[in-house]
Structure 1
């Protein structure tokens, strides 16, 4: 039976593109009034200016400028406050670990760029809250230097978290696993580890513990499936879909029957790879594509550099007694291609 081929379809950006103001009069009484008022002002000024002198003479010699936390680098703790005892200080550090650690735990389960951004915002809020708490205390004397180092490291970590949130918004970081790996390699993470070690050895009688929330330094992974690996398949027809991925990243193609919210066919196509999907059942379909790096089989998504698109046109497959339909799509701009694509919110991408 000869095939009835559909027109070649282009895809882009990784991804499919084209389809395959009276002056007072002199001598009046106003001049006297003004003179009296002016004199009153002078008296008031003299009284006001005398206040600081009287206070100083009465023995209040504290200069407000010396209040802790009011100048650059001030800790916010009163200089007259008694240092915390080692147990009190360790209890505070434990609170830091729990608060920030719980927030980090939520990041690990993030399965979309939006979820990553939300989780990172939560960690950043927890870190800022603990920075404020640590800034208000006086640590045990032998832990003062390491305490200052910890504060500095946490401030740097807050900056790193903000950058990671921006990366998620740009699709550079798409899952919690890749966000954690990215954060684990930041210099701010290493600074927290250094402060952790310094606090652990600051007092021979008390090994202070903090910083357990920092993820272990991890390299990016690059997991891939084999070219043509089906994630989902429904073979009940004769139609064919030919896919050519001329792009530089792997992709997953989801074929969704009109009226359905889930894919009938989902296939992995490696960069520069070609796949022919046979057994497509007659009907009209929409085709969605996601591309990126490091395929997470559990999350069913790429963990880095992800993008989500769909063809704007539908694809109709039909079979007669003498012919069946073949469509060809190309996942890069193609000369002569006649298909347009549009971006899709990751949350609307059919599974």
Structure 2
């Protein structure tokens, strides 16, 4: 006997495969320089027949809007070191976030610091040979701030806090690399506090039909998955009472392909996560994730076929669940 289950629009399609002989029985179920100020000379009154007092006015004091310059090479290097030090705290905060709210706060603080330092660089006078490099550094800081402020934290539930934090750190280092290299050609050092995480790990796409996890006793159940969607999926077969992070079986099905898994033990619930850039260590997609659970439970020792493609003729409903 084979059972079929189709999915409603926005969900997927299912079908039962357990071969028990006889005819097929289909069941339908219903995301700026200061000017040098000069003391004002007190005017003296012209001599008269009577003594005249000579008023003197106090010197006018002004506060320079920019330091005297240009700076020497050593002075400019000191300024760069201090800039590095001012960035260090916010960069470290970004690297050590523990919650999504602390990630957002770290991003905002670092954005403000980058903008402030970019503005401050415009008020100093670097050595003549470093004027162009200083301008590049100023612009790169501004660019990094803009990119960070536009950073998306929606993938926290997908790749995790560490993944998003490391991606932002790598982005910062990459953005600043042009300025770092140009300063280095002048014998100047900057960027020692920028993150050095190395290249991003290469994501490894499993083969279609790979069983990523299998635990517990087997049985006579079978599940065929037809992935008609444009993204890969990881289908988790989860025993009753177990969280989706602890599946009995996890099956990987590439986009537009079909795969079948056998020896499913007992009744189960079906969870499907989809996305891009699979990370084999975390057993998670790193971006564009979606997490669903079929509302219907699956009985033991039966064969089901699931079609993961939205359809107005679908007959299986699903619900969004927390990332797992």
TM-score normalised to structure 1 length: 0.62
Runs of 4+ in 1 over 6 A off after TM superposition: 214-220
- Render the CA deviation track for 1:291-328: whole Å, top value 9, x for unaligned: 112210012111222211111222222xxxxxx42222
Q: What displacement does 1:61 show?
A: 7.2
Counterpart selection for 2:265 from 276, 281, 284: 281
- Give yes or no for the alignment of 1:224 onto 2:205: yes
Any idea what SS the aligned residue of 2:189 has?
Answer: coil
- Give yes or no for the alignment of 1:146 onto 2:133: yes
Counterpart selection for 1:208 from 179, 189, 194: 189
Any idea what SS the aligned residue of 1:164 has?
Answer: coil
Determine the structure 1 residue equivalent to 2:151: 164
Residues 178 and 220 in structure 1, CA contact (< 8 A), matched pair in contact too: no
Determine the structure 2 residue equivalent to 1:251: 233
Residues 9 and 337 in structure 1, CA contact (< 8 A), matched pair in contact too: yes
Report the Cα distance in structure 2 between the residues aligned to 1:167 and 1:184, rounded to whole angstroms: 18
| RMSD, aligned α-carbons | 4.1
- Give yes or no for the alignment of 1:236 onto 2:225: no
Residues 203 and 280 in structure 2, CA contact (< 8 A), matched pair in contact too: no
- Render the CA deviation track for 1:20-57: whole Å, top value 9, x for unaligned: 9xxxxxxxxxxxxxxxxxxxxxxxxxxxxxxxxxxxx7
Residues 76 and 126 in structure 2, CA contact (< 8 A), matched pair in contact too: no
Q: Report which of the two has the higher share of helix.
A: 1
Determine the structure 2 residue equivalent to 1:88: 78
Determine the structure 1 residue equivalent to 2:316: 339
- Give yes or no for the alignment of 1:307 onto 2:290: yes
Unpaired stretches in structure 1, ≥5 consecutive residues? 21-56, 69-77, 318-323
TM-score normalised to structure 2 length: 0.67
Q: What displacement does 1:259 show?
A: 1.2
- In the alignment of these two chains, the number of paired residues is 276
Determine the structure 1 residue equivalent to 2:274: 291
- Render the CA deviation track for 1:173-222: whole Å, top value 9, x for unaligned: 87765876688679x944x22322333344xxx52222662679969956
Residues 196 and 209 in structure 1, CA contact (< 8 A), matched pair in contact too: yes
Determine the structure 1 residue equivalent to 2:182: 198
Instruction: Sort the Cα spacing of 1:96 and 1:12 in 2 relative to 1 into closer, same or farther, 3 A.
Output: farther
Q: What displacement does 1:133 show?
A: 5.3
Determine the structure 2 residue equivalent to 1:31: none
- Give yes or no for the alignment of 1:155 onto 2:142: yes
Determine the structure 1 residue equivalent to 2:52: none
Report the Cα distance in structure 2 between the residues aligned to 1:174 and 1:271, rounded to whole angstroms: 23
Q: What displacement does 1:332 show?
A: 0.6
Any idea what SS the aligned residue of 2:225 has?
Answer: strand
Unpaired stretches in structure 2, ≥5 consecutive residues? 15-28, 31-56
